[in-house]
Amino acid sequence: AHLDRMAEVEPKIQAFLHVDRETTLEQARAVDARLRAGEKLGPLAGVPIAHKDIFATRDMPTTAASKILEGWRPPYDATVTARLREAGLVFLGKTNLDEFAMGSSTENSAYQVTRNPWDLSKVPGGSSGGSSAAVAAYEAPLSTGTDTGGSIRQPASVTGIVGMKPTYGGSSRYGLIAFASSLDTPGPFARNVLDAALLHEAFSGHDPMDSTSVDAPVPSVVEAAKNPDIAGMRIGVVKELAGEGYQAGVLARYHEAVQLLESLGAKVVELSCPSFTTALPAYYLIAPSECSSNLARFDAMRYGLRVGDDGTRSAEEVMALTRAAGFGAEVKRRIMLGTYALSSGYYDAYYGQAQKVRTVISREFEAAYQQVDVLVSPTTPTTAFSIGERTDDPIAMYLADLCTIPSNLAGNAAMSVPVGLADEDNLPVGLQIMAPVLADDRCYRVGAAVE
């Protein structure tokens, strides 16, 4: 049924970079055989899922939406995809994204533009915009994404679905094509909070293959999603993440959601986290710095594309030609920014300074969590913007991440849950729920209470 739905709507939505009906049906038959043989599989056995094309999959290509990886077939599965395969989920295909997950609209894909199912002239958010669009368009009931600087929560918000960034290290980065290693976090997309929780539990947990994986029990997110009792819970409203510059319709739905939480017995207090306003510039130094190091592996020798290798050129020339042809404009911009920020003489002024800001933000979160159990804000300052509207203005594009980035810098858990449509454009609005490290279950409890 989902493959048929994809065949029907994909010409309009363009959420998928790779679909292979036969591989999907083969997987479904394999799960069926395991069940018939009496194997005990988890609650999601047989449920179809779409994967952001940044997770390695051994039976499907993996491109990170970059020309430099065109045609690359990984010889192995990422831990996330391996665990879901083991749990009996069936892979529908690989979804579009901003090249190497760098962007907020999925327009930086080297292959295609994905459209928001609510309004085809709008973006589906990014970087995991193929995964959000696929779920919102009923092409897939579940999908995976990654959140480095909002790339699960922001697309979930603008397509009216649930998206969760787990605690950093709570889900494995093994087999995930690296963007910014100290921030990259795999997480779930779903149409309701309980579905997201089931998926979260299915792929989370300690992984010895990832050196920053947290060796602690997975928070009981399914349990929390099933018990949305928030009476007595203390909820902090972040003063800096609302107000001027935010769309009126976003603020209206946000304030209503906060009132709803209060009426359900939560105690709402306003809190100030003054350094959150510096998170965006700090992130846009730290993430490019890490990316400039991570993307050095695309050297024309190891994977994918190789340009100009005709026997007359040196390896260095082939590398330069390949990178010039294989990387898109935003990726090049980030590599240059990062290389500059890390270069001697500038390191302390840029990268070093950004790391200090990161520490200050973590401390503000810690101070806030002394007073409250969770923090809330709108997920994004505006609803989905128009395709093409921000492509020539990187700073305007970066502003979409205003509310989401503080949680990435601190490594804590955060969710976006739909709270209705904005009056002015009838497009979805998301409520962001932020919780301390390894308290992911609180996001699910509050999320289930408001949905």
- Kindly list the catalytic residues: 52, 127, 151
Tell which one of 50, 60, 78, 101 touches ligand GLN (CB under 6 A): 101
What distance in Å separates the CA atoms of residue 371 and residue 356, rounded to the nearest whole number?
A: 24
Contact window for ligand GLN (CB under 6 A) among 145-153, 194-202, 319-327, 430-438: 145-153
Contact stretch for ligand GLN (CB under 6 A) within 144-152, 239-247, 273-281, 432-440: 144-152
Task: Report the residue closest to ligand GLN, judged by CB.
Answer: 151
User: What are the percentages of helix, strand and coil residues in the chain, rounded to 5?
Assistant: 40, 15, 45
Angle between helices 329-342 and 279-294 (to 10 degrees): 100
Nearer to ligand GLN, 287 or 415 (CB): 287
Residues 272-311: x where in contact with ligand GLN by CB under 6 A, - otherwise, as a string:
---------------x------------------------
- The least distance separating ligand GLN from the CB of residue 194, rounded to whole angstroms, comes to 24
Residue 228 CB, shortest distance to ligand GLN, in Å, is: 27
Region 168-207 residues binding ligand GLN, contact defined as CB under 6 A: 179
- Contacts of 366-373 with C-beta under 8 Å, sequence gap 24+, read 366/436, 368/236, 368/238, 368/271, 368/273, 369/436, 371/234, 371/236, 371/269, 371/271, 372/234, 372/235, 372/236, 372/269, 372/271, 373/233, 373/234, 373/235, 373/435, 373/439, 373/442
- What SS3 state is found at 189? strand
Residue 149 within binding range of ligand GLN, rule CB under 6 A:
yes
Q: Of these, 48, 150, 187, 447, which contacts ligand GLN (CB under 6 A)?
A: 150
Q: Are 87 and 182 spatial neighbours (Cβ–Cβ below 8 Å)?
A: no
Q: Mask of contacts with ligand GLN, 317-346, x by CB under 6 A?
A: ------------------------------
| C-beta of 69 vs 237, nearer to ligand GLN | 69
Question: Using the rule CB under 6 A, is 148 a contact of ligand GLN?
Answer: yes
Q: Is 283 exposed, middle or buried (0-12, 13-18, 19+ CB in 10 A)?
A: buried
* Residue 432 sits in the site that holds ligand GLN (CB under 6 A): no
Q: Considering only residues 370 through 429, tell me which ones interact with ligand GLN, judged by CB under 6 A.
A: 401
Q: Please, what sign has the CA dihedral across residues 67, 68, 72, 78?
A: negative
Dist. CA 144–CA 164, nearest whole Å: 10
Footprint of ligand GLN on this chain (CB under 6 A)?
Answer: 101-104, 127, 146-151, 179, 287, 401
